């Protein structure tokens, strides 16, 4: 992944600047090995490996391989036109305030006039407008994303190899998890409170056992990956506690002392004899 903070994380762990960072992708060019401790090494690597055989000059700019400032006076119209094609028009309008345009040249002229980018004679500076759009693109200011292909999702790919009934069951299972933590309903009782009310170990009977098994199988539609793992840890602790309480405690019989004048050897022998019974 490009521009997600790999170099910044290493700098934070080392508490000093050992890797170059930049607000745009493509700053890290080669692999860099950083020693965190005597036995732990970190590797800072490029997030994007550019394939020159399958990509053109436009893709090189869009992927951040070539910086905008290095383009010089090269015509940037094709790159800006690609941005206008792949980004939703409503996002372009929200970002730049240009409501309507015929083509890329018309868009650049209107943008230059809105931002006051003019040359001699009051003509719009389309070159400056092009650089502005490409700078915003490389810095992530223009909202755009590409969803990962279905085949690259391992969970769904594995599900395709199963029978149809199991496919839907597995897909529904993974579909219940929401990565956004804010999707949880905090007005409802937490999973820990629900389990604690269900599991009463002082007088556990068969009905309580059925409720426990039911709570394990039910899926919380508001669950996240973090809350699911927390719930599993709580269940494991509950089961360990119940198992430890159900096992009989090993009691060591104590001999009645009739005489307090025992030396250490006598006490030790009495203890071993009692333990063997």
The yes-or-no verdict on residue 33 having pLDDT over 60 is: yes
pLDDT at 152: 57
In this prediction, residue 34 carries a pLDDT of: 85
Q: Residue 135 above 80 pLDDT?
A: yes
Rounded to whole angstroms, the Cα distance separating 112 from 82 reads 18
Q: How far is C-alpha 104 from the geometric centre of its chain's CA atoms?
A: 37
Q: What tokens were used for 89?
A: 């028009």
Nearest Cα to Cα of residue 221 among 174, 158, 187: 174
pLDDT at 176 over 50: no
Does 42 score more than 80 pLDDT?
yes
pLDDT value for 206: 53
Q: Which residue has the tokens 């006051």?
A: 116
**C-alpha triplet 271, 275, 276: angle, nearest 5°:** 120
Please say if the pLDDT value at position 220 is more than 90: no
Residue 143 reports pLDDT greater than 80: yes
User: What pLDDT score was predicted for residue 226?
Assistant: 56
Res. 147: pLDDT tops 90:
no
Q: What is the pLDDT of residue 37?
A: 83
Q: Is the pLDDT of residue 4 over 70?
A: yes
What's the rounded mean pLDDT across residues 217-229? 54
103, 80 Cβ separation under 8 angstroms? no
Cα distance between residue 265 and residue 202, in whole Å: 42
State the pLDDT confidence band at 134, using cuts at 50, 70 and 90. very high
Q: For residue 80, is pLDDT > 90?
A: yes
Cβ count near 105 (within 10 Å): 14
Average pLDDT over residues 225-244: 77
Residues of the chain with CATH 1.10.1580.10: 57-138
Quote the pLDDT of residue 130: 92
Where is pLDDT greater, at 47 or 252?
A: 47
Grade residue 163 by pLDDT with cuts at 50, 70 and 90: low
Q: What's the mean pLDDT in 53-79?
A: 79
Phi then psi for residue 88, to 5 deg, are -65, 140
Average pLDDT over residues 188-212: 47
What average pLDDT does the structure give for the chain?
Answer: 72
Q: For domain 57-138, give the fold.
A: Conserved Hypothetical Protein Ylqf; Chain: A; domain 2 (1.10.1580)
In the predicted model, what is the mean pLDDT of residues 36-64?
A: 76
Confidence of residue 198 (pLDDT cuts 50, 70, 90): very low
Residue 50's nearest CA partner among 32, 77, 25 is 25
- Across-strand partners of 197? none
Q: Residues 6 or more apart from 274 whose CB is under 8 A from it?
A: 252, 253, 254, 255
Average pLDDT of span 115-141: 90
**Confidence band, pLDDT 50/70/90 cuts, at residue 6:** confident
């Amino acid at each position: 992944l490009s521009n997600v903070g790999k170099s910044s994380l290493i700098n934070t762990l080392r508490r000093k600047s050992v890797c170059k960072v930049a607000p745009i992708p493509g700053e890290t060019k080669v692999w860099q090995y950083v020693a965190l401790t005597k036995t732990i090494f970190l590797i800072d690597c490029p997030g994007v490996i550019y394939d020159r055989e399958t990509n053109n000059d436009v893709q090189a700019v869009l992927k951040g391989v070539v910086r905008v400032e290095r383009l010089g006076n090269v015509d940037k119209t094709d790159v800006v036109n690609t941005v206008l094609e792949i980004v939703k028009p409503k996002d372009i309008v929200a970002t730049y305030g240009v409501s309507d345009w015929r083509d890329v040249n018309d868009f650049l002229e209107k943008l230059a006039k809105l931002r006051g980018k003019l040359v001699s004679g009051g003509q719009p500076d389309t070159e400056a407008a092009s650089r502005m759009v490409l700078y915003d693109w490389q810095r992530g200011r223009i909202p755009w994303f590409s969803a990962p292909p279905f085949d690259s999702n391992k969970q769904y790919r594995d599900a395709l190899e199963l029978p149809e009934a199991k496919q839907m069951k597995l897909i529904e299972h993974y579909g219940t998890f929401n990565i956004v933590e804010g999707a949880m309903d905090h007005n409802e009782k937490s999973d820990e409170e629900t389990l604690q009310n269900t599991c009463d170990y002082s007088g556990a009977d068969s009905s309580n056992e059925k409720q426990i098994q039911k709570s394990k199988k039910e899926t919380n539609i508001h669950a996240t990956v973090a809350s699911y793992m927390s719930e599993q840890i709580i269940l494991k602790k509950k089961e360990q506690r119940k198992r430890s309480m159900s096992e009989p405690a090993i009691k060591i019989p104590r001999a009645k002392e009739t005489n307090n004048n025992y030396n250490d050897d006598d006490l030790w022998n009495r203890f071993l004899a009692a333990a063997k019974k």
